[in-house]
Amino acid sequence: MGLRAYLLKRLINTVILILFVITLNFIIFELMPGLQGAIVNLISNPKVNQNPAQKEALLKLYGICQSFVNGNCVPYPIQNRFATYFVNMITFQFGDSFQTGQPVLHDMITTGKLENTLILLGTATALSLLIGTLLGVLVASKRGSIIDSGWVTTSLITFSLPTFYMGLIFILIFAQTLKWFPPGNVTPAEWALGLPPLATQILVRIEHLFLPALTLTLFFYGGHLLLTRATMVEALSEDYIVTARAKGVSQRSILFKHALKNAALPLVTNAALSFGSILSGAIITETVFNWDGLGLWIWTSIGWKDFPVMQAIFYIVALCVIAANFISDLLYGVLDPRIKYQ
């Protein structure tokens, strides 16, 4: 099977997977209890007109009632609801948030939630991948030494500690005691009155980013280190490594040009899925540091029973993971020409 046939096959599989995700997303929120309570919260929102006509219009808008007979709701048939939902998912029309009454995409983009999560999770993911991979290569080359045992133990500890615990410890030490960094928020509250110069904005944003990014980096890097170590240990035991050493190839070349290249396939998948899941946010960490991102938004949406927001984020995160997995499959052939697409 050639590359074109492989790409076509992967695209077909991806489309089928997206259709499955859309269907599963619909089923989950159809079966999830609390929808009526969410509607009550919606029509009780002070921002919404309280007259009966407005309430009926809202129930029709959200696909709850097809019509009203003597004031009683006549629900839409489920097949009609699914058809409307399917078109909305494909066209990224997620409806209006129960909390704000604004379109979900509007709240996601214009309020900075998407940007804040991309900055936090993107920074933490990139740093954890870089640190975990480099340390994984180092400890694999020194297998059985104190360095190996020390870094593996440290990575297991940071990977096992809850993020809220590490976050609170960092706030206590670096924010409350040493006063080096702010304890939370994306930007200072006084910025609502006016923005400082750009250079000052960048420095202050980095100060606010440091503690939550440090928390997530320490939590994530351990998994990358252990995976890199496992694949590198296996690669370093191959015959071609012994041959390279016998030829006098330098240790750096053996590690990075020979062993790491041949051990890279699981690492590529791991990196792609890590970046693909960025939009899921970091619910606990963002809540601890009051970081106004998608994770904190999900948390507040659960309390509000804001189904449009939860449904939209579930769908978008699934699409990102599917796309990341597709890209990682394509990169396999670039990194390892021995792979035949079959």
Place of tokens 């009683």: 72
> Rounded to whole angstroms, how far apart are CA atoms 57 and 45?
15
Angle 279-282-287 (CA atoms, 0-180°, nearest 5)? 130
Structure confidence at residue 38 (pLDDT): 57
Structure confidence at residue 57 (pLDDT): 63
Question: Where do the domains of the chain lie?
Answer: 32-109, 113-292
Partners of residue 69 on adjacent β-strands: 72
CA distances from 260 to 56, 88, 92, 142, 254 (A): 62, 44, 40, 15, 8
CA-based end-to-end distance of the chain: 6
Structure confidence at residue 184 (pLDDT): 83
* Cβ count near 331 (within 10 Å): 16
CB burial of residue 250 (10 Å; 0-12, 13-18, 19+): exposed
Structure confidence at residue 215 (pLDDT): 92
* Cβ count near 24 (within 10 Å): 13
Q: What is the mean pLDDT of each run of 10 residues along the chain (342 residues)?
A: 72 89 87 61 54 61 63 70 85 83 86 88 91 90 87 90 91 90 82 74 88 92 90 84 82 82 81 78 85 88 83 88 82 63 52
> Rounded to whole angstroms, how far apart are CA atoms 259 and 243?
12
Structure confidence at residue 281 (pLDDT): 64
CB burial of residue 316 (10 Å; 0-12, 13-18, 19+): buried
Q: CATH classification of 113-292 is 1.10.3720.10, yes or no?
A: yes
CB-based contacts of 151, cutoff 8 Å, min separation 6: 135, 138, 139, 225
Angle 182-109-121 (CA atoms, 0-180°, nearest 5)? 50
In terms of C-beta distances under 8 Å and separation of at least 24 residues, what long-range contacts does 70-76 make, across chains too?
Answer: none
> Rounded to whole angstroms, how far apart are CA atoms 314 and 279?
9
Concatenated DSSP letters of 270-315: HHHHHHHTGGG--HHHHHHTT--SHHHHHHHHHHHT-HHHHHHHHH
Place of tokens 């960092």: 170
The closest of 188, 190, 180 to 214, measured between CA atoms, is 180
CB-based contacts of 65, cutoff 8 Å, min separation 6: 56, 59, 73, 74, 75, 76
